[in-house]
Structure 1
Amino acid sequence: MADETPDFEVPVGLFQDIEDLKAVVQALASQVTALTEGADTDSGEVLADAGPDAGEDPADEDEWQFPPFILLLDPPQYDEELRALIEWVEGVLVPGYLAEPSSDARWCHLWFEHPPAVARLHACWLAWQELTDPATCGYTGPSVWHRDHLDPCLRELRASSGPFGGCTKSEHQIDHRLPGTVPSAWRHETD
Structure 2
Amino acid sequence: MPDEPDAPDFEVPVGLFQDLEDLKAQVARLSAQVQELSDGTDAADGGIPADDESAAGDEGGGGEEEEEAQFPPFILLLDSPQYDDELRALIEWVEGVLVPGYLAEPSADARWCHLWFEHSVAIARLHACWLAWQELTDPATCGYTGPSAWHRDHLDPCLRELRHSSGPFAGCTKGEHQIGHRMPGIVPSAWRQIAED
Alignment partner, residue 67 of structure 1: 72
Q: Which of 121, 130, 139 in structure 2 is aligned with 1:134?
A: 139
Tell me if structure 1 keeps the 8 A contact 2:171–2:181. yes
CA RMSD in angstroms comes to 2.9
- The unaligned stretches of length 5 or more in structure 2 are 1-18, 57-61, 188-197
Residue 143 of structure 1 and its aligned partner are, at CA, apart by 0.5
Alignment partner, residue 151 of structure 1: 156
Identity of aligned residues (%): 72
Which stretch shifts more, 131-140 or 72-81? 72-81
> What letter corresponds to residue 30 of structure 2 in structure 1?
L
Tell me if structure 1 keeps the 8 A contact 2:42–2:48. no
1:170 aligns with 2:175: yes
Residue 177 of structure 1 and its aligned partner are, at CA, apart by 0.4
1:28 aligns with 2:22: no
Q: Partners of 1:52 and 1:177 in 2: how far apart?
A: 47
Tell me if structure 1 keeps the 8 A contact 2:121–2:168. yes
Q: Partners of 1:104 and 1:178 in 2: how far apart?
A: 21
Alignment partner, residue 5 of structure 1: none
Report the TM-score when normalising by structure 1: 0.71
Alignment partner, residue 49 of structure 1: 43
Q: Which of 92, 99, 104 in structure 2 is aligned with 1:87?
A: 92
**SS of match in other structure, 1:116:** helix
Length, aligned pairs only = 157
* Structure 2 CA distance for partners of 1:27 and 1:114, relative to 1, 3 Å: farther
Residue 64 of structure 1 and its aligned partner are, at CA, apart by 2.0
Q: Partners of 2:165 and 2:182 in 1: how far apart?
A: 12
Tell me if structure 1 keeps the 8 A contact 2:164–2:170. yes
**SS of match in other structure, 1:75:** coil
> What letter corresponds to residue 66 of structure 2 in structure 1?
E
- The unaligned stretches of length 5 or more in structure 1 are 1-17, 41-46, 183-191
Report the TM-score when normalising by structure 2: 0.69
> What letter corresponds to residue 43 of structure 2 in structure 1?
D
Q: Partners of 2:142 and 2:104 in 1: how far apart?
A: 29
**SS of match in other structure, 2:168:** coil
